[in-house]
Chain A
């Protein structure tokens, strides 16, 4: 029997006709990947200390605006090609297959690195400072010292590697367990953020100064008035507030843009969202707006409670090891909030929330690459074994193990060497996204067979396909932030060794494609045909 759907169509009784996934689900997915807590940490820790004269509010709004354009471009891609797997699907339909694979490989390694980066921060900025702070507040030097050890090279390596292993085990044991743990950690993270904001609201500047002096007075070598002593010592050592500086503000925006990229990660699950237009729009745009709003509110509260001079001085002193003014724990604002309230309970709750935000990244940054690796394997540009899915858990164990090994290798490099600038691989991923967005500008003209079947087919702006316009704006924003990272020596930069990493990774990925092409050729397989459209005669 046929039934009416919508206003003017009729449906047969047939399988697969399901209602849309909750739009809220997509929103939570994207917000979780922004990691509001870690973004807040980056901005408040690096911003005032490194980018002197940079304005957090303006920098965050700049990044939010740019990510909005990138998000809109990606939104058009995922509406036109509603498939799971991220930019690999977009690339293989719009550009030369070796280039599409190269971009996908670069993107995948970037997110893997990002996961390792998160795991390292879990140790250095999450667990270790929380342990040290607990030792300080309970006046137990042994615990305080243990926390310091945890932030060392081996402590970092062991904690971060363990986190990756746990994340991989959860992923390998099945998606249901993964979803459950993500849900739990999202709840912990959100509650921790509420406690953090609530604590800031009820703590006055005078209370904060008094408690900070009480806790840190004996530990720092800047006198009993540790609060002003830190500002004085940092100023003497070179920190200053020169007033608004546009260049530093633009560079500072990198640290807001970086986590905001996660807002568009739902492109990796496009195939699982039925009303992809509405769901993705709410997810991507909602995550950007929501994150930016929480950050702006947090900045205002932090400045009100701690003062901007103090925040800049205490973070500057820690990063530069200013004599007598470097706090024994990393002065992450979330941690300072707990210390400033002089409460072990609040400190632990806020720290747990922060750890929760970081955790949300770790397994997901392994999950995203594994989906792409399985797609490569199915397209025969990666070994067949990597596409194997466990019958018991229905997860791609070999791909997960490969990602875990890569992730641990990255952790080792981050913990024991200074080879990588902080976010050098993100520079690569942003470039890959920029190129895919650029391809999107021409997609409606190059592949009308696909575009004209999409819901965007009849939408135009100034006579141009909406996808062309959105992707053009997104590509411009992504290229601008690529260059912003390029000229930010602290975050990524363009030093000789940064460039060698960047170029080497692209060239390596490109070579990998041709190695697989050659191997498959010897097996009688022409992988290029897999991406070509069958001609209709």
Chain B
């Protein structure tokens, strides 16, 4: 219970640091936590007996996957809010979250096969979980391709619909890991009955890695949203300049 209490406190307290607008302060905090995460993975946590050293990929592979799901969930909510309120801010959040989600999804799709090669003896298998993850990546790459064009209202609304519909794939991935016959390992973090399959050292290392990735995600989201809003402001200003010069 104490471990889960600490984890909960970690998730509640640390994102609060990122409400502050001082990005140098945030970057320093992020850098320190990333360093601690690397120390824990490579020096502190013992090597797992069955899989050996490649099991250490788990800490950043699963953290990337959880960050990716969070990014697509925020994009899903922001897309709904954009269609409802027609606010450019929600559109900027959705676009930014999808872009960061695609970065983390790419990392999941790269690190997964690197782990699989020595464990399964194959880089890739067309099993449900892996295929659904690839489909998720393709859906959100399509979203970004739609948005590659400048501020076109029709494309923006269509992309928002894609951001909502595409999210349906996320619960399917969870479902496939839990219930379908798949090569992908079953969840070890929280197993049936609420127990964990990890030792204390492994759990601590995983929590710090996940915390570091979530903080990185919030940092990137703020930066990327700021870019999207600046682009929009630039378009408005350019239009104003053109109107002024045309008079």
Q: Answer yes or no: do A and B interact.
A: no
Interface residues of chain B, those whose CB is within 8 Å of chain A, are none
